[in-house]
Structure 1
Amino acid sequence: MSGVPGEFASVRKLLLGRMDGLTPGERKVARALLAQYPTVGLTTAAQLAAAADVSAPTVIRFATRLGFEGFPGLQRALLHELHSEGGSPLVQYEEKPPAYPQGILRGTRQAFVDMIDASYDGIPESEFSALVDLLSDTSRAVCLVGGRFSHVLADYLLLHLRLLRTGVRMVGEDEADRLVAVADAGTQSVFVMFDYRRYTDANLRLAQAVSRRGATVALMTDNWLSPIAKVSKVVLPCRVQSASPFDSLVVAMAVTESLVAGVAGALGEGGRARLTLIESVSLDD
């Protein structure tokens, strides 16, 4: 017996399946646990609370809401999972990059396919749908922010969103641009932050500043979770491991494409009408 409530095969799958029913504080606990899974769940309730930036009672309520007999019940399920999977080739594969006897091209192709599958399985549908809803709400102003490499993802999303709706802008690295973005931020603002490991301190400060002004922060990050997660209402994590010395944005780009598809579908005829208008506009007299 795994000790996991319901029909879920693991605590991880339980968290992903129940994310939508958690309170904002409990959702922070779930994200912290997923980011350092399962080890942080095997510490004390106070330590998990510190990792999630919530109170210890919130951690206990979180465990109970999931159906466990308190925090000890959650830990027993995690220990059972750890002992059951400790020798799994899949777990070792994730911890240690595999060799590619079939060659780099074919080997990395399969590695990226596996990464996409694992990442999409790890994204709660409720979180994805929430971000699509935010980006499709044309009453909201959308600001996109990237990092050293991830700015290409922000740029890519910008190029598509502005074809489908108005009120989308990029926030650059320039300090004046960021100060204006903070001044303009309010309850009808959505800031989509792309932040992957070797996280950007400047982006964290920006996210904290706009959050204090009432803006909704949505985070695109890796499976370890950027510190921006602590002020984010929506978090979409994905894997970034690569065969090269550099982290990969392959999965992050795929998730960005999924967001574009979701927004296009949600806007429907409105998005189509805007695209038609843009293509019909002429700059000639």
Structure 2
Amino acid sequence: MAKDLLHSISEGMSGFSKGQKLIARYIIENYDKAAFMTASKLGNTVGVSESTVVRFATEVGFEGYPQLQRALQELIRNRLTAVQRMEVTSEQMGEHDILSKVLTMDIEKIRRTLEEQSNEGFEAAADSIIAAKNIYILGIRSSAALAQFMSFYFNQIFPNVRLVTGSSASEMFEQIFRVGKDDVFIGISFPRYSKRTVKAIDYAKERGATVIAITDSAGSPLAAKCDHLLLARSDMASFVDSLVAPLSLINALIVAVGMRRQKEVGETYAQLEKIWDEYDVYEKNEENIV
């Protein structure tokens, strides 16, 4: 859709006003920068008013400027290098009041995640996890932390959780080669997307497993072959991946599954408490919370 948008803007150039032509040319030539500019900043950059930018967005078929901006962001979602992301972050935030700016952006990501994720899809994913014979969880690079978090809590609910690790594709496939039709495979990846995660999803799907993809967009390569798509907004502009919305989504999934398995979870914690008391774990474990 985003590529069609640039073509549409180019084709409609002759019908734009003078100010709109300035906006159109800038977007076509610098869409990677325009995607992260406010309407006000884009207007200042090309020498037109903010209202002209807003009218331009409606002229090319969007409800408002935020929708145009999101369409441009979809175009570059997986193309920015680390250096480009650093440059965008610098332009967006500057050097002052970073705490407020970062937390405000994270709040917006959670809000958009709540808007874009359907309850039906979320509940269907939870049902699949509960019914699975084995649960495989894979996340690479920054997504590894999310996979480990999910695995830690699912291991307290289920006896059949497998956190897929490994620094190479061969090690990864050694751990998932037995995945089958009664299993669930959960793949987690955000821009820039992991090719290994995509390959693992392809393999799990071919083996008949139910695939759950946790990613940021329906245009993500993880979305193409999954059975259940869970969307959480990340920030592909920042050189540091913002995982607050994905973590919140995963947290909600763990709670949803745990609430449906309250008896089993209760029994698990009762057994753990007994073991901790019997072996005096808290006194001997140096990592115990004081």
Specify the code of the residue in structure 1 equivalent to 2:152: L
Residue matched to 1:144: 137
Aligned residue number for residue 101 of structure 2: 107
Q: Which of 184, 192, 197 matches 1:198?
A: 192
* Contact 1:108–1:243 (Cα < 8 Å) also in 2: no
Write out the 4+ residue segments of structure 1 that deviate beyond 4 Å after TM superposition: 36-40, 79-82, 89-102, 174-177, 282-285
Task: Verify the 8 A CA contact 1:171 1:177 in the aligned structure 2.
Answer: no
Look up the match of 1:219: 213
Q: Is it true that 1:239 corresponds to 2:217 in the alignment? A: no
TM-score normalised per structure 1: 0.64
1:83 and 2:61 are equivalent in the alignment: yes
Q: Which residue of 2 aligns with 1:62?
A: none
Partner in structure 2 of residue 133 of structure 1: 127
Identity among equivalent pairs (%): 22
Give the match's secondary structure for 1:220.
Answer: strand
Rounded Cα–Cα distance in structure 2 between residues aligned with 1:150 and 1:143: 14
Change (3 A) 1:89 1:170: closer
Change (3 A) 1:39 1:185: farther
Q: Paired residue for 1:120? A: 114
State the alpha-carbon separation in 2 of the partners of residues 159 and 185 from structure 1: 20
TM-superposition CA deviations, 1:155-178 (whole Å, max 9, x none):
000000111121001111255543
Cα shift at 1:259: 0.8
* AA matched with 1:83: G
Contact 1:216/1:233, CA 8 A, preserved across alignment: yes
Does the aligned pair in 1 maintain the 2:215–2:231 contact within 8 Å? yes
**Paired residues of 1:100 and 1:107 also in contact (CA < 8 A):** no
Amino acid at match of 1:207: I
For 2:279 and 2:241, how far apart are their aligned partners in 1? Answer: 45
Q: Secondary structure at the match of 2:140?
A: coil
Q: How far off its partner does 1:92 sit?
A: 4.8
Residue type of the alignment partner of 2:192? R
For residue 157 of structure 2, the aligned residue among 155, 164, 171 is 164
Q: For this pair of structures, how many residues does the alignment match?
A: 212
**Cα offsets for 1:54-76 (capped at 9, x unmatched):** xxxxxxxxxxxxxxxxxxxxxxx
The question of whether the paired residues in 1 share the 8 Å contact of 2:215 and 2:222 is answered with: no
Letter in 1 for 2:63: E
User: Secondary structure at the residue paired with 2:61?
Assistant: helix
Q: Give the partner amino acid of 1:219.
A: A
1:259-270 residue pairs with structure 2 within 5 A? 259-270=253-264
- Describe the SS at the equivalent of 2:155: helix
Opposite residue 218 of structure 1, the aligned amino acid is I
Partners of 2:59 and 2:116 lie apart in 1 by 17
| 2:233 is aligned with 1:255 | no
**Cα distance change of structure 1 residues 89 and 218 upon mapping to structure 2, 3 Å threshold:** closer
TM-score with structure 2 setting the length = 0.63
Give the root-mean-square deviation of aligned CA atoms: 3.3
Distance change (3 Å), C-alpha of 1:90 and 1:214: closer
How does 1:1-16 map onto structure 2 within 5 Å? Answer: none
Q: Deviations over 1:44-98 (max 9, x none)?
A: xxxxxxxxxxxxxxxxxxxxxxxxxxxxxxxxxxx98963524x46755996985
Unaligned runs of 5+ in 2: 9-56, 74-87, 281-290
- Cα distance in 2 for residues equivalent to 1:255 and 1:81: 35
Taking the aligned partners of 1:154 and 1:101, their CA distance within structure 2 comes to 32
